[in-house]
Amino acid sequence: MWHKNAVGERMETIYVPDIECDSCVNLLKKRFEKRGIHDYQISKDAVVLTTDKINPKEVVEIIKEAGFRASTTPFERKSFRERRRDMKENPQKYELELQGLNYAGMSAMVLAILILVSYLLFFNTIPNFAIQYGWWVFYLGVSVITIGIALWHYFAYDAKYTCMVGMMVGMTFGMQAGMMVGAIIGATNGFFVGSMTGMLLGVFIGALTGKCCGIMGLMEGMMAGLMGGTMGPMISVMMFSDHLLWFMPFYMIINILIVAGLSYMLYEEVAEGNTKIKKKPIDLPTFASYCIIAAFILIAIMVFGPKSVLVGG
């Protein structure tokens, strides 16, 4: 809606909440210059048109093409209470997210059954398997499903990501994947195997998800994977003789909450209100297969991989 400033000039405000840094501003300026748009001002969360000769709808489309959200009305962020109420009143808006929760639950049940069957058929021949590996196999399954469903949710949306959101995605995925898996393998195999497994997995996942916004996000994801993959097993080894099993439930719950928060952020920042976004989720059998394969590869590393003298190797 056009309005007048203090000196009587007509102005139109286009709200762009994804403007985070100078790179975002420069990107928008280049887009505007290509279209011959010069009468505007860019602030931290809006573009103000300083002449009524420019069509605001055209500017909104230009901004959206650059990967930013844009609207002539302010964007509202829902509180957690409002979000919960909205989910109850408009479940169709969250169809993909609810589908993901169902996929996670069903895949977890299938994985648990396969692990139990493999124990009855094979792993029970290994002395003290349940005592030595029981809790760690459980935490590993939880980690695989948690990271897996978050990746499923991320790749289900075919969307453009701003630099800030993309860096956050790569950093969180890389850090949490490395820390969760690294801590578990570190507790059963020691610092070397735990670090190698957590680091390589974290760097791979961090780079895979962070590259959505270019080299900056890719590097952020790799650095987070490097840090998380080595910090996770370091925690396990340092706490091995000091109530590690009491520590792990709290550690896992906090990691799960962080990953859940990332998925919440992705919906709020990328999907909500974006009518042009495409949804391309993979099906349940494919998702469950990825989780099962990843879990059993990591279990094989846990059981048959080299072990440090610090963990009884």
Same domain as 203, residue 293? yes
Asked whether 181 and 145 are in contact (CB, 8 A), the reply is no
Same domain as 305, residue 209? yes
Whether the pLDDT of residue 241 is over 90: the answer is no
Is the residue at 70 inside a domain? no
Same domain as 91, residue 61? no
Using 50, 70 and 90 to split pLDDT, how confident is the model at 84? Answer: confident
Quote the number of domains for the chain. 2
Higher pLDDT, 275 or 96: 96
What letters, b where the CB count within 10 A reaches 16 and e where it falls short, cover 237-276? bebbeeebeeebeebbeebbebbeebbeebbebbbbeeee
Same domain as 253, residue 199? yes
Q: Where are the alpha helices (DSSP H) in the chain?
A: 22-34, 56-65, 80-89, 95-121, 129-156, 163-189, 191-210, 215-238, 244-266, 284-304
Whether the pLDDT of residue 150 is over 90: the answer is yes
Same domain as 265, residue 129? yes
Q: What are the pLDDT digits (tens) for 5-41? A: 554 556 778 888 777 777 778 888 888 888 777 777 7
Which domain range does residue 143 map to?
80-311
The gap from C-alpha 66 to its chain's centroid, in whole angstroms, comes to 22
Q: Span 103-121, mean pLDDT?
A: 95
Q: Span 264-293, mean pLDDT?
A: 88
Whether the pLDDT of residue 1 is over 90: the answer is no
Same domain as 84, residue 60? no
Sign for the CA dihedral angle at 68, 74, 79, 82 comes to negative
User: Last residue of a domain, which of 38, 65, 92?
Assistant: 65
Same domain as 251, residue 146? yes
Same domain as 236, residue 280? yes
Higher pLDDT, 171 or 69: 171
Whether the pLDDT of residue 73 is over 90: the answer is no
**The domain that contains 47 carries what CATH number?**
3.30.70
What letters, b where the CB count within 10 A reaches 16 and e where it falls short, cover 168-207? bbbbbbbbbbbbbbbbbbbbbbbbbbbbbbbbbbbbbbbb
Asked whether 63 and 12 are in contact (CB, 8 A), the reply is no
Same domain as 98, residue 52? no
User: Last residue of a domain, which of 12, 38, 65?
Assistant: 65
Q: What is the spatial distance between Cα 209 and Cα 222, in angstroms, rounded to a whole number?
A: 10
Using 50, 70 and 90 to split pLDDT, how confident is the model at 2? Answer: very low
Same domain as 255, residue 217? yes
Is the residue at 247 inside a domain? yes
Is the residue at 72 inside a domain? no
| pLDDT > 90 in the chain, percent | 50
Same domain as 105, residue 16? no
| pLDDT > 70 in the chain, percent | 94
Same domain as 18, residue 157? no
Q: What is the mean pLDDT of the chain?
A: 87
Q: What are the pLDDT digits (tens) for 181-231? A: 999 999 999 999 999 999 999 999 999 999 988 888 899 999 999 999 999
